[in-house]
Amino acid sequence: MFWYLVKSGLLPKEHIFYEEVKAFCSRALSCFSPVSQAFSQDFPAFTSWLQSNQFLHGKGATHFFNGIGGHGQGHLGDVNMSPAEWIQSHNFAGLSPRTISAMNSTLHLTSGVRIDDVCQMFFSLQGTSAISLKRQGVVGYLIATASDAMAIKPGLQFSPQVNGIIGLSDPPVMLPEKVRELLAKLDTETSIYLQTCKLNTQALEVHLTSMDDRVSRPVAVFYGGSRGGWQVVQELHKSLSVIDVCEACLLEKRIDECSYRCQDCWSSNSLCENCLQAGFKEWHPAARPCSVCHEKKQVCSRLLQLSWCSDCEARQKAFMERLFNLFPDTFQFPMPDPPHNFKSVRSSVFWYWLFLDERLINVRIILAVLFAHETRGSNAYSTRVRN
């Protein structure tokens, strides 16, 4: 039956079950034929499932999934087993919790876009049938960009990942040399220096999600404070332009050379003479490859940001109103985040209104009347309003 499902195409080789069966058989027969060390590349769907399983249910779920294995037999216990011993001691073929943890991306400790996470987004999209725009020489995955800020407790903490103190807005990482310099000073001087430093009180995270909601991943975080106008959001929007760079230029670190816009084509809504002679087939930047991929005659895989969702914060909303004026060549549509809109409606309904005796009473008007009469000294009327 398994052979029929595979041969008929009903069970694709990219399916988790097929990859698990293949991994189990190859691991059980590893004493006869060496197993490839590139487990995540040989079984991408199964590896993604293992990561999700450990993230949701913990390392205990990974141990239960794998079985007892070579516990107590040394580091090479699994390798030295015969096929019968391996099958009896394993439930499924998986990875150890330590290996899965090592595969996770590092923490976002400093502000900016992580190129590794953007490349991982490409890897996840290519393993699914996500919605994409396919033209000659280009594959554009349609995605939505969402950003949301959260308040964080200000403080300083040592991070072994960057070998420094994090928590400051500037510098983002206090190196050991600076720490030793502060330790050599008096306590009063160190205290004055720390009082002048600005601590991070807010973290704004940026997520990328495919339009069919199959793939979603955080790719950037920006630390800072809640102060500042729409110009702060404009600088953030410029920093996110690296998401528009194609996969090949990201991997080859040719970010500045990745260009797929032609101002003449955009202004006339048609191919200009130079682009026609260069061999381009489309005038719209979303449907044409970048110049680097076009010269190499390779497929240009890109992320097309069609929408940008954000909360209803004042500076975010002010920047949304100016987006098309500041970036006239963008095809990204700004929209307030629906959950934040519902929260605003909930606030206006339940925080400022009371429904008493079939009457809808505005609490803010009552407070205004109460404040006005209290300032005039009318205590009798104020007591009546309170009651």
Element of type H or E holding 210: strand 202-210
Which is more confident, 310 or 355?
310
More confident residue, 131 or 38: 131
**C-alpha distance from residue 355 to each of 199, 306, 347, 367 (Å):** 43, 42, 15, 16
Residue 164 lies in a domain: no
125 pLDDT tier (thresholds 50, 70, 90) = confident
Residues 27 and 83 in one domain: yes
Question: Are residue 360 and residue 236 in the same domain, yes or no?
Answer: no
Of 1-15, 29-43, 166-180, 210-224, which range is least confident? 29-43
Can you tell me the mean pLDDT for 75-102? 77
> Is the same domain home to 218 and 335?
yes
Q: Do 242 and 313 lie in a common domain?
A: yes
Higher pLDDT, 311 or 85: 85
Within-domain flag for 167: no
> Is 56 found in the same domain as 98?
yes
Please determine, for residue 79, whether its predicted confidence score (pLDDT) is greater than 70. no
Same domain, 67 and 7: yes
338: left (phi over 0), alpha (psi -120 to 50) or beta: alpha
| 31-47 average pLDDT score | 75
128 in the same domain as 32: no
Cis amide prior to 218 (ω within 30 degrees): no
Question: Rounded to whole angstroms, how far apart are CA atoms 115 and 159?
Answer: 21
Same domain, 316 and 240: yes
Query: What is the reported pLDDT for 59?
Result: 86
Residue 88 has pLDDT above 70, yes or no: yes
pLDDT (0 to 100) of residue 149: 80
Answer for the pair 282, 133: CB distance below 8 angstroms, yes or no. Answer: no
- Please give the average per-residue pLDDT across 342-356, as a whole number: 63
DSSP secondary-structure letter at 332?
Answer: P
Select the more confidently predicted residue: 369 or 257. Answer: 257
**Residue 226: domain span:** 112-152+201-259+298-343
> Do 53 and 116 belong to one domain?
no
Average pLDDT, the chain: 80
Residue 379 has pLDDT above 60, yes or no: no
Identify whether 287 is part of a domain: no
**128 and 42, same structural domain?**
no
Instruction: Specify the number of domains making up the chain.
Output: 3
358 vs 141, more confident:
141
Task: Establish if 220 belongs to a structural domain.
Answer: yes
In this predicted structure, what is the pLDDT of residue 301? Answer: 92
Confidence (pLDDT) at 249: 92
Residue 306 lies in a domain: yes
pLDDT range class, residue 381, cuts 50, 70, 90? very low
Is residue 34 domain-shared with residue 147, that is, in the same domain? no
Does residue 243 sit in the same domain as residue 369?
Answer: no
Residue 42 within any structural domain of the chain: yes
CA atoms within 13 A on the CB side of 38: 3
* Predicted local distance difference test score (pLDDT) of residue 348: 55
First vs last C-alpha separation in the chain: 77
In angstroms, rounded to a whole number, what is the distance separating the alpha carbons of residues 382 and 369?
9
> Dmax over Cα atoms in the chain, in whole Å?
95
Q: Residue 254 falls within a domain, yes or no?
A: yes
- In a domain? residue 15: yes
**Is 323 a residue whose pLDDT tops 70?**
yes
**Dihedral sign computed on CA atoms, order 122, 125, 131, 134:** positive
The pLDDT of 322-341, averaged and rounded, is 74
Report the pLDDT value the prediction gives residue 197, as an integer from 0 to 100: 84
